[in-house]
Chain A
Amino acid sequence: MSEKYIHKKTLKDKLNSPGMLNILYVPVLILFGTFLIYPFFKGIQVSFTNWDGYSQIFKYVGFQNYKQMFADSDIVTVIYNTIVYGVGSTLFQNIFGLAFALLLCRQTKLNAVGRTFVYLPAIISPLIMGYIWYFIFQYDGGALNDIIKLFSGSQTNLLASTKANVWIITGINSFQFVGVSMVIYLAGLQNIPHDYYEAAEIDGASYWQRFLNITVPMLAPSITVAVVLNLIGGLKLFDVIWSLTNGGPGYSSCSLSTMMYQLYFAKQEAGLAASLGILMFVIITIVSVIALAGFRKREISQ
Chain B
Amino acid sequence: MRDRNGKLNKILIIVLIIFYAVPFYILTTTSLKKDMDVSSKWKMPSYLYLNSFTNAWSKANLGHAFLNNIIILVISMTALIILGSLAAYPLARNKSRLNKFMYYLFVSAMIVPPLSILVPLYQFYSRIHAMNTFWGITLIHLTFQLPLTIFLYTGFIGTIPRELDEAALIDGCSRFGLFFKILFPLLKPVTATITIVTGVNIWNDYQFSLFFLQKSQVQTITVTLSRFFGEHANYVSWVAAGSLLGSIPMIIIYLFLQKYFISGLSSGAVKG
Contacts and interface: CB of A to CB of B under 8 A. Distances in A.
B52 interface: no
A39 interface: yes
Interface in B205-257: 206-207, 221-222, 225-226, 229, 236, 239-240, 243, 246-247, 250-251, 254-255
Q: Is the interface on chain B under 10, 10 to 19, 20 to 34, or 35 or more residues?
A: 35 or more
Interface in B112-126: 112-124
Contact of B240 (A36, A131, A221): A131
Interface in A110-127: 110-111, 113-127
A257 B211 CA distance: 13
Given A21-B89, A125-B246, A238-B206, A31 B119 contact: no
Contacts, number: 257
Interface residues of A, number: 89
Give the most central of B93, B102, B270: most A CB within 10 Å: B270
Contacts of B167: none
Interface in A199-229: 221-222, 225, 229
Interface stretch (B56-64, B70-78, B103-111, B184-192): B103-111
A62 to B, nearest CB: 18
B40 A119 contact: no
A25 B87 contact: yes
Contacts of A302: none
A278 B236 CA distance: 38
B81 interface: no
A242 B146 CA distance: 26
Residue among A104, A120, A180 with most chain B CB within 10 A: A120
A169 interface: no
A153 interface: no
Interface string B67-104: 00000000000000001101101110110101100100
B227 to A, nearest CB: 11
Interface stretch (A69-77, A141-149, A155-163): A141-149
Nearest to B246: A128
A24 interface: yes
A42 B206 contact: no
A22 B94 contact: yes
A196 interface: no
Given A43-B117, A124-B250, A143 B40 contact: yes
A116 B258 contact: yes
A243 B143 contact: no
A235 B110 CA distance: 13
Contact of A232 (B111, B204, B206, B250): B111
A296 to B, nearest CB: 11
**Interface-central residue, A32, A136, A188, by most chain B CB under 10 Å:** A32
B155 to A, nearest CB: 12
B27 interface: yes
A187 B115 contact: no
A98 B118 CA distance: 35
Contacts of B161: none
A293 interface: no
Contacts of B226: 127, 242-243
A135 B26 contact: yes
A43 B120 contact: yes
Interface in B123-176: 123-124, 139-140, 142-143, 146, 150, 174-176
Contacts of B17: 113-114, 117
A280 interface: yes
A274 interface: yes
Nearest to B250: A123
Given A24-B87, A53-B119, A42 B23 contact: no
Contacts of A131: 225, 229, 239-240, 243
B266 A284 contact: no
Contacts of A285: 111
A133 B243 CA distance: 12
A28 B23 contact: no
Interface in A166-206: 180, 183-184, 186-188, 191
Contact of B120 (A46, A125, A138, A239): A46
11 contacts: A18-B93, A28-B84, A28-B87, A35-B121, A38-B120, A53-B123, A122-B200, A125-B204, A136-B41, A138-B236, A222-B269
Given A225-B269, A288-B111, 8 more contacts: A114-B17, A123-B261, A127-B222, A146-B40, A191-B270, A243-B226, A260-B115, A274-B119
